[in-house]
Structure 1
Amino acid sequence: MHPKDSISDGQPEPPVDAAEVAEAGEHPEPIVEPAVEPAVEPAVAVKRRPRGRTTLIIAAALVLGIAGGVATGYAVQADRAPTPLAALSQPGLAYPAKALPAGKEPDPLPASQDRRVRTDGDLRKLIVPRPKGWQEDKSLTALTQDGWLGVESYAMNFENEEYMFSDLLDQGLRRVAGTTWKKGEYRAADVYLVQFTSGAAAAAHAEDQRSYMPEKRAAGNEGTAIKGSAEGRYYVFPAERKAGYLPFYQARAIFSRGDVMVDIHIFDSAPISKKDIRTLAERQLERL
């Protein structure tokens, strides 16, 4: 029987002398003590403050701070004496103490110098006279009412009628006078005097139409300046061809004078010369 077997259960084994083991040539096995895990404390739930409440508190503090700063600044400024403004660099405007006596008022500008006097009258009378060889096109008089066009009738000349109708009203369109002529079987001409409530609106409408020409209809043609007009131009477009139809030629002149924008068109199945559209535009400009 092995000595270890003689030891009763529950009794401790005798201590082993390390020197005796070394002399016997045996190597003792290392005694490994079981690892003791540290006690883990139960996690404590942390309550978080709702973000909304914090945001409201900060916002309220900012509002109170701003209000307090404004009130303080107002109180400080109210106690100060007013600071006088610096003198104007220009001299004071002088007005007569009393109105001029009767008979000594300056004469009004003649119609030749006051453009508003000319255009406030019958606008139809300012349309250039019909050139020789042309006649009134009675087939299209349904679009006019004795020489006047409604906004919707004038807007029908544009591709996007609804947009142009709204845009003209927004720009302050006042009235439109127009006429239509024909010459031969296919040549026709339209002349429109489009009056606005201001000269700036008339110039803006003319500029809008000029900017549209090279992009859509003139194939890069920048047009030619109209003599006597600052920004006016006339255009001769290349023919539009479609199978089964005669070629379509068109020329157009656009300019403004005062509060009136002038829009002139010539149509034909044969080429249109620059002289035809230029002459008509120059005569209309002189008329205004």
Structure 2
Amino acid sequence: MEAPGEEAAALVPEPGSPRRRRLRGRAAVLTGAAAALGLVAGTCAGYLVQAHRAPTKLPPLSQPSFAQAEGEGPEPLTAARDRRVKTDGDLRKLLLEKPRGARAAAHLMGQNGWLDLADYAEFYDEPGEMFGEIVGDEFRRAATTGWLVGRTHEVEIRLVQFRQEETLAAAANVASTRYWVEDEGGTDSWALPGTGTGRVYVHKRPDTKPGYVPVYTAEAHAWRGDIAVEMWITDIKPIPKAKIMDLAERQMERL
């Protein structure tokens, strides 16, 4: 089991020429949601059978007992220390809790804190195409939360879990997303301590669209085991590094 804050950086695939499209936060998705609905409905139909198959049975959480001489060999992990026990439970419980005084984000996608495969695909620039890609990545489930502080400071966090029976999909997902984020101009980035390859990003240029107030964005992307962490902060004023860094560090500590 990997210790908290340790990841095998050598296992992270190089971005190279990623096949994925740009992954977006909820605010950007809502702007173009109406135009995307028709595309998703037409393209996703061929994948629905596979998406609705019964999930692959998980291995038992109990650990086998082995006879050992007194004082020799390691003791079995307790449930509190066994990360697999934690991540196979209710994924929503690993999300950061809404801060005191904050309000729940309006129009948060999904139901009861869960995102299904179709909902998650909506966060990509080409959701119809990405639906099939995510099926191939052995998408297992995704949990989400979000909140609003004041009138304009909004946070969105997603935990995306993969089965990882064939590939290290969580690491690949983060590597591909980072490629597109780092390709944007006017962006500063810093390593996320304790994650190996995780990074936080602050976009210094606001996102401007006709009819909308300019919006600044900061985001963080990291992975641990079979879970990819995706995080965004949006506001109508610049977002300091300390805000996104603190949020990302605290979220990773829960994994």
TM-score over 0.5 for the pair: yes
Q: Which residue type is aligned with residue 260 of structure 1?
A: I
Q: CA deviation at 1:239?
A: 1.0
Q: What is the CA-CA distance between 1:268 and the residue it aligns to? A: 1.3
Q: 2:214 aligns with which of 222, 225, 247?
A: 247
Q: Secondary structure at the match of 2:151?
A: coil
Partners of 1:214 and 1:220 within 8 A in 2: no
- Matched residue count: 185
Q: Paired residue for 2:98, among 119, 130, 135? A: 130
- Please state if 1:283 is matched with 2:240: no
Contact map agreement 2:139 2:161 (CA 8 A) in 1: yes
- In the TM superposition, 1:25-44 aligns within 5 A as none
Contact kept in structure 1, 2:189 and 2:202, CA below 8 Å: yes
How big is the shift at 1:271? 1.1
Matched, 1:181 2:144: no
2:161 maps to what in 1? 195
* Structure-2 separation of matches of 1:202 and 1:236: 22
> Secondary structure at 2:107's aligned position in 1?
helix
Distance 1:204 1:145, change over 3 A: same
Contact 1:253–1:277 (CA<8 Å) still a contact in 2?
Answer: yes
Code of the residue aligned with 1:156 in structure 2: it is E
Residue 257 of structure 1 is matched in structure 2 by: 224
1:106: how far off? 7.7
Taking structure 1 as the reference length, the TM-score comes to: 0.59
**Deviation for aligned residue 1:112:** 4.8
- Say if 2:121 is the partner of 1:155: yes
**Separation of aligned partners in 2, 1:147 and 1:107:** 36
1:215-257 CA distance string (max 9 Å, x none)? 2xx3163621001110000111121234543211111100001
- Asked whether the equivalents of residues 200 and 244 of structure 2 are also in contact (C-alpha less than 8 Å), the reply is yes
Name the CA shift for 1:151/1:106 in 2 (closer, same or farther; >3 Å): same
Richer in strand (by share): 2
Is the 1:140–1:180 contact (alpha carbons within 8 Å) kept by the matching residues of 2?
no
Contact 2:138 2:162 in 1 (8 A): yes
TM-score with structure 2 setting the length: 0.66
More helix by share: 1
Larger-Rg structure: 1
1:191–1:262 CA contact under 8 A, matched in 2: yes
CA distance in 2, matches of 1:189, 1:144: 16
The alignment partner of 1:129 has SS state of coil
Q: Which residue of 1 aligns with 2:87?
A: 119
Q: Does 1:172 align with 2:151?
A: no
For structure 1, which runs of at least 5 residues remain unmatched after alignment? 1-98
Distance change in 2, residues 1:183/1:117 (3 Å) = same
The one-letter code sitting in structure 1 at the alignment partner of 2:150 is G
Q: Does residue 1:214 correspond to 2:208, yes or no?
A: no
**1:43-98: per-residue Cα shift (whole Å, max 9, x none)?**
xxxxxxxxxxxxxxxxxxxxxxxxxxxxxxxxxxxxxxxxxxxxxxxxxxxxxxxx
What is the aligned-residue RMSD (CA, Å)?
Answer: 2.4
Stretches of structure 2 lacking an aligned partner (at least 5 in a row):
1-65
Runs of 4+ in 1 over 4 A off after TM superposition: none
Paired residue for 2:189, among 201, 217, 223? 223
108, 111, 118: which one aligns with 1:145: 111
